[in-house]
């Protein structure tokens, strides 16, 4: 099984819309947190040998690893965290960005998380960590920095 997340939707916009609809099926944040944790459990296994310092995302309270790989004109991402809620946040970001062209990634800032109130519902450190993960994804796309 590949550790990279395959796209479930045709575009980033479609992925964002689907995530929004799923998240807001729940009326309160405790239920939404449970949904996010379940998303994290659905991530493909991240290889232990990839859990290295160079793949760590700086600025995260928890340990978060991201790996990108170019597949033709698109980037695919793998990710993991040592915290359940953060794994879910990783899963949300990868569901939006993995399997997209660099141009589509760069044209889709992660402002949807703030717009939904998710950043405000998280602790300050977790909110900063999500921003750091989104920035790392944007950096991969900007530099075309996927290693084989």
Three-class HEC string of 17-78: HHHHHHHCCCCCHHHHHHHHHHHHHCCCCCCHHHCCHHHECCCCCCCEEEEEEEECCEEEEE
- From the list 5, 43, 57, 60, the catalytic residue is 60
Kindly give the interhelix angle for 84-97 and 12-23, rounded to the nearest 10 degrees: 140
50 contacts 3 by C-beta, under 8 angstroms: yes
Residue 45 dihedral angles phi and psi, to the nearest 5°: -60, 135
Strand order of the β-sheet with 74-81 is 64-71, 74-81, 100-101
CA distance linking residue 13 with residue 15, whole number of Å: 5
Q: Is there a catalytic annotation at residue 60?
A: yes
Residues acting as catalytic residues:
60
């Amino acid at each position: 099984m590949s550790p990279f997340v395959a796209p479930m939707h045709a575009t980033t916009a479609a992925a964002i819309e689907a995530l929004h609809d799923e998240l807001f099926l729940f009326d309160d944040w405790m239920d939404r947190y449970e949904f996010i944790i379940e998303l994290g459990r659905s991530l493909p296994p991240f290889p232990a040998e990839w859990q290295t310092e160079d793949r760590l995302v700086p600025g995260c309270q928890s340990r978060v690893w991201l790996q990108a790989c170019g597949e033709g004109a698109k980037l695919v991402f793998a990710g993991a965290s040592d915290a359940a809620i953060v794994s879910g946040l990783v899963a949300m970001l990868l569901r939006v960005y993995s399997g997209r062209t660099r141009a589509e990634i760069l044209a889709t800032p992660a402002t949807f998380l703030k717009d939904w109130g998710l950043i405000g519902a998280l602790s300050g450190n977790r909110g900063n960590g999500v921003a750091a993960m989104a920035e790392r994804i944007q950096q991969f796309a900007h530099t075309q920095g996927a290693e084989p």
